[in-house]
Amino acid sequence: MSYANWKAAKKRQRHFLLKDIKQSKTCYGFLAPYAIIFFTFYVIPVIVSIYLSFTYYNVLQPPKFHGLTNYINLILADDVFLTAIKNTFLIAAITGPIGYIMAFLFAWLIHELPRGIRAFAVLVFYAPTISGQVYVMWALIFSGDSLGYANAWLTELGLIDTPILWLTNPEYMMGIVLLVTLWMSLGTGFLSFVAGLNTIPTDQYEAGYVDGIKNRWQELWYITLPNMKSMLMFGAVMAITQTFNTADVTMSLCGFPSTDYAARTVVTHLIDYGSYRFEMGYASAIATVLFLTMFLCNKFIQKALSRIGT
């Protein structure tokens, strides 16, 4: 193809694109209100955040360009950040997969129940997520004095004789945080699984039975899971989002800041620098690192999920 031809083709392409855009005027009109708000409050903030992460910014003075200083300090000089990363990864590595598998397992088992009980069971398992602040009840259960429910029961049973400081002793803190995050881990992904299981055509199961699928586990692997791939992906995105953003739970259970920063997560670290110390550049660097980690994790899981049923 000659250069002139190529140029003409390119021009025609551009012409078509312009024509497409002109013809889709109504489409853009419908999209506009959402798009404007979405860009202003979801896209631009990410760009601003990435920009700020390379600066020193304390809100009062204009941001000063700082190069990679924030990132270098974050990784090399900030011990608390290392604790935060360790905790966040611990939550992500334990609550993430277990919560995810639990969400699927419960959805799958609930699906086998008779119809009437099913709706009730879904409500019971999903309730921790919808009822907002109910996780503060865990603070009462694990409160450090002898009237805390866990302490009182353990004393009654004769297992301990002095109350355990569940939420102020760094030894127990993370364990309790993990327990509570697990308790809350059946979120939107769980609903997606419950719904997805309903959509699998029953004749596939019947065909599987004829083809010699012997038990529920084989059926799960060869029929159910391959049918659920897209829901599994959605659930994974939700699980990643939820676990990497853990902050409310640790703050209201273990206090903010927690003893020895033992329950610090990446997000509470970010809140500390952003809302209390006003080091916005540094806080933005934390946000950027967090986002990048989540994004990579997401890509990795996408790869892993494409192997299901093979």
Partner 1 sequence: MKKIKAGRQPNRSVGGDIGVGIFLVLFGCFFAFPLVFAINNAFKPLNELFVFPPHLFVKNPTIANFNDLFLLMNKSGVVTFTRYSFNSLFITFVGTVGHIFIASMAAYVLSKYKFPGGRAFFTMVTVALMFSGYVLAIPNYLIMAKLHWVDTYLAIIVPAFAMPMGLFLMKQFMESSIPDVLIEAAKIDGAKEGTIFFRIVMPLVKPATLTLMIFSIQNLWNNVATTYIYSEEKKTLPFALKTLAAGGVARTGVSAAATVFIMIVPLVSFLLAQSNIVETMASSGIKE
Among 152, 160, 164, 225, binds partner 1 (CB under 8 A): 152
- Per CB under 8 A, the list member of 8, 136, 292, 296 interacting with partner 1 is 136
- Reported as half-sphere exposure (CB side, CA atoms, 13 A), residue 299 has a value of 5
**Please, what is the minimum distance in Å from the beta carbon of residue 278 to partner 1?**
10
The nearest distance, CB 111 to partner 1, in angstroms, is 11
Which residue from 8, 9, 35, 93 is in contact with partner 1, where contact means CB under 8 A?
35
Contact stretch for partner 1 (CB under 8 A) within 7-15, 77-85, 165-173, 229-237: 229-237
| HEC string for 126-174 | HHHHHCHHHHHHHHHHCCCCCCCHHHHHHHHCCCCCCCCCCCCCHHHHH
Interacting span for partner 1 (CB under 8 A) from 64-72, 76-84, 150-158, 256-264: 150-158
89 contacts partner 1 (rule: CB under 8 A): no
Give least dist CB 3 to partner 1, A. 26
Q: Which stretch binds partner 1 (CB under 8 A): 64-72, 84-92, 254-262, 271-279?
A: 271-279
The tokens of 278 are what? Answer: 């006003």
Minimal distance, residue 83 CB to partner 1, in Å: 18
One-character DSSP codes across 295-307: HHHHHHHHHHHTT
- Do the beta carbons of residue 275 and residue 287 sit within 8 Å? no
Q: Interaction with partner 1 in 238-267: which residues (CB under 8 A)?
A: 238, 240-241, 245, 247, 267
Q: Which token pair is 114?
A: 């008779």
- The token duo for 14 is 């551009």
The Cα–Cα gap between 199 and 111 comes to 11
Stretch touching partner 1 by CB under 8 A, among 6-14, 83-91, 131-139, 164-172: 131-139
Q: Are the C-beta atoms of 224 and 200 separated by less than 8 Å?
A: yes
Instruction: Return the residue of 1, 2, 3, 41 that touches partner 1, per CB under 8 A.
Output: 41
Minimum CB–partner distance for residue 79 and partner 1 (Å): 22
The answer to whether the beta carbons of residues 65 and 51 sit under 8 Å apart is no
Q: Which is nearer to partner 1, 4 or 214 (CB)?
A: 214
Contact with partner 1 (CB under 8 A) among 210, 211, 307, 310: 210
* Total residues in contact with partner 1, by rule CB under 8 A: 106
Q: CB-wise, 54 or 138, nearer to partner 1?
A: 138
In one-letter notation, the amino acid at residue 64 is K
Residue 83 or 143: which CB sits closer to partner 1?
143
51 vs 259, which CB is nearer to partner 1? 51
Question: Does an H or E element contain 23, and which?
Answer: helix 3-23
Task: Out of 68, 147, 292, 304, name the contact with partner 1 by CB under 8 A.
Answer: 147
Which are the contacts of 168, defined by CB distance < 8 A and separation ≥ 6?
A: 144, 254, 255, 259
Residue 231: burial class (beta carbons within 10 Å; 0-12, 13-18, 19+): buried
